[in-house]
């Protein structure tokens, strides 16, 4: 699991770093490299892992936004963010199954591949389609209400998740 977490998260940040250096934004590239180093230290030393990993994904999202803001390639950045999300998920799961034997961890990881693949394909695909379509947005109260409706929808879905048992 650690290798998946490292590969995905580092890959995502590597893409942003390369984009930053190639397009003449060394600070952005350097920040991405630094984030990747910190991520790997946290993953492999198991130090303050959950909070730190979650903190790192927020910082990575901000850096990714700056990459988009600098117009260094929307599809690349979208792919990078998708990898970062998968790496974060794998990193958290790795901690949960860390007490178990390596073969058991590998078997468990294999069971997660469909879900992670779905996140990667759908996340990147939907993002790419929306970028390509270029929807016209009015940044007003309607968009804010739509976001609020989305929050309520997710809260509702969490509440009615299948198989939920409140015992």
Question: 4: Cβ–Cβ under 8 A, 6 or more apart, which residues?
Answer: 86, 87, 90, 94, 109, 116
| Residue with smaller CB distance to other proteins, 33 or 63 | 63
CB of 136 to other proteins, least distance (A): 9
Q: 19: Cβ–Cβ under 8 A, 6 or more apart, which residues?
A: 25, 28, 29, 67, 72, 73, 76, 77, 80
Nearer to other proteins, 45 or 138 (CB): 138
Q: How far is the CB of 148 from other proteins (least distance, A)?
A: 10
Kind and range of the H or E run holding 60: helix 49-69
Q: Contact positions toward other proteins, by CB under 8 A?
A: 50, 54, 57-58, 61, 64-65, 68-69, 74, 77-78, 81-82, 85, 89, 92-93, 96-97, 99-101, 104-105, 107-108, 111-112, 114-115, 118-119, 122-124, 126-127, 130-131, 135, 137, 139, 143-144, 147, 150-151, 154, 157-158, 161-165, 167
Q: First-to-last CA distance in the chain?
A: 30
Q: How far is the CB of 31 from other proteins (least distance, A)?
A: 16
């Amino acid at each position: 699991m650690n290798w998946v977490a490292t590969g995905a998260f580092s890959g995502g940040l590597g893409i942003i770093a390369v984009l930053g250096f190639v397009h003449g934004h060394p600070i952005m590239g350097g920040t991405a490299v630094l984030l990747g180093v910190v991520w790997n230290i946290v993953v492999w030393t198991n130090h303050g892992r959950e909070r730190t990993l979650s903190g790192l994904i927020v910082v990575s999202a901000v850096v990714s936004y700056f990459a988009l803001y600098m117009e260094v390639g929307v599809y690349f950045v979208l792919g990078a963010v998708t990898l970062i999300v998968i790496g974060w998920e794998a990193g958290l799961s790795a901690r949960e199954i860390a007490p178990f034997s390596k073969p058991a961890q590998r078997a468990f990881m294999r069971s997660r591949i469909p879900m992670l693949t779905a996140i990667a394909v759908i996340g990147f695909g939907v993002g790419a389609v929306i970028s390509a379509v270029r929807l016209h947005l009015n940044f007003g109260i309607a968009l804010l209400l739509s976001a609020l409706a989305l929050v309520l929808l997710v809260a509702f879905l969490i509440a009615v998740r299948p198989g939920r048992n409140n015992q």
